[in-house]
Amino acid sequence: MERKILKTEGGVQDLEITLLDEEFNSYYKQAYNEVKNKLQLHGFRKGKIPFHIAKKHFGQAIETDALELASRIEFQKIVEEDKISIVGQPSITNIDKSDGEVKLTISYEIYPEFTLSEYKGILIEEPVHAITDEDVEAEIQKILEANATFEDAECIDDENFVVGVSFTRVDPKTKDVLEDHETIEENLYLKDERADKDLIDALLGHKIGEKVYLEQASIQAEEDKEDDQEIFAYEIQINDVQKLIPKELSDDFVKEHSKEAFETVDDFRNDIEFSLQEKWDRESRIAMEKQVVSKLVDENNFNVPDAFIQNAIDLMLRNYQHQFSQMPGSDQLLEDPTIREKMHPSALRNVKWEMIRGKIIEAEGIEVEDFDIEQLANTEATRTGNDAQKLIEMFRKNDNVKQQILATKVLDYILDFAITNEVPFDDLEDLDST
């Protein structure tokens, strides 16, 4: 047996394997032995057809099996001997039988080799935000509203209402109810930051028993043209209107709300200020991480195996289905024949970062240590109330947790060496558009 690399292009390698006839004949006989008990021919008992007769009547099928067998076994030998890092499944792309030999061309994707660009001393912007009294007051107001009482009302005068509604899909042109769609009932707090602004505007000024109509475009990628978007129309029945009466801020409320962790309004304010600053610091960290990933992905140019990208797209689709399964139009998006193409750029970026991160982990000898697991377990125990020791034992056995820890440690390492320029959050460029 001889082998020769014909070409390597775009992360795909073509390997030619040459077998002499006597070498291939051993695979032919092996293929025959695997199927001989299944062969049937008039005049012979099942499984008792002589080899030369079976070859005459079933030779083409046996040869096909033999070629597949030879390519699989010989290719596996070469992969192990030459330590080739292949991705996905190899395929036979050409067969040439001549001059007493058989040549098999096998195509396969290989794990790309690349040299890391410099990842120490990256220049990034560090967004900062100093908490103001207005920030604290706004957060306190949210807490008071979250602990509010309610009064029956007739009309939706402003956003300080919780409204019970029923959504029914209708035809955008005729407003007729679409029979194959179920009516969905929800309670909407109109001041909720997640509430749909168009829906709020449609409800304001209306009363119990009234109906409003709302049209929305289907969920589409930003680059889609508006003319190509499907329109979803809804008839919205107002079933209930409750006016929200916020709690009054007092020492008694603070004690009750904090379960006596704080006794005075001033202590409560200080804790809120601290919590808000922590939140903004986390946002700053996320923004810096995005810059690091964006810079390194753009600076490291290499071909990514398509199998990796397709696996990443599969994961994105599963996550989308889990997260947005109840959102109107989500089922149509998942059935969109171009959805994989639209997700390709994001999947490619995610895979490239994962491979770059792996290189940095290897280069710097970054490992998950007992301290990392214990620290994470203690943090989660404080947050959830679970037993820290049980969490430690569980995390030690969980490869996903270890990968998350490694991912964080890599970014910690890069950010430790990064050169940062402080800027207000409002001045930070939109990193998601890069």
The predicted structure's pLDDT at residue 42: 83
The reported pLDDT for the residue numbered 228 is 57
**Closest to 356 (Cα-Cα) out of 414, 398, 316, 419:** 414
Q: Which CATH number fits domain 123-127+274-433: 1.10.287.3510, 1.10.3120.10, 1.10.3210.10, 3.30.430.20?
A: 1.10.3120.10
Query: Cβ contacts of residue 187 below 8 Å, gap of 6+?
Result: 162, 163, 164, 165, 240
Spatial distance between the Cα atoms of 411 and 413, rounded to a whole number of angstroms: 5
Strand partners, 245: 149
Cβ–Cβ < 8 Å for 6, 100 = no
Query: Residue 9's pLDDT is what?
Result: 77
Q: Yes or no: is domain 149-245 CATH 3.20.20.70?
A: no
CB-facing half-sphere around the CA of 423: CA atoms within 13 A: 13
Domain ranges of the chain: 2-110, 123-127+274-433, 149-245
**CA 274, CA 254: separation in Å to the nearest integer?**
16
pLDDT of residue 57: 85
Rounded to whole angstroms, the Cα distance separating 294 from 288 reads 10
* Cα separation, 343 vs 221, whole angstroms: 9
What pLDDT is recorded for position 431? 44
Nearest-angstrom CA–CA distance, 388 and 373: 10
> Do 3 and 15 meet the contact criterion of CB atoms below 8 Å apart?
yes
Neighbour count for residue 322 (Cβ, 10 Å): 8
6 CA to centre of own chain: 36
* Amino acid 432: pLDDT: 45
Architecture of domain 2-110: 2-Layer Sandwich (3.30)
Interior angle at CA 401, CA 397 and CA 404, nearest 5: 150
Pairing between β-strand 123-128 and β-strand 419-424 as defined by DSSP bridges:
parallel
Q: Cα angle at 18 between 16 and 24, to 5 degrees?
A: 130
Q: Which residues of the chain have pLDDT under 70?
A: 10, 218-229, 324-334, 429-434
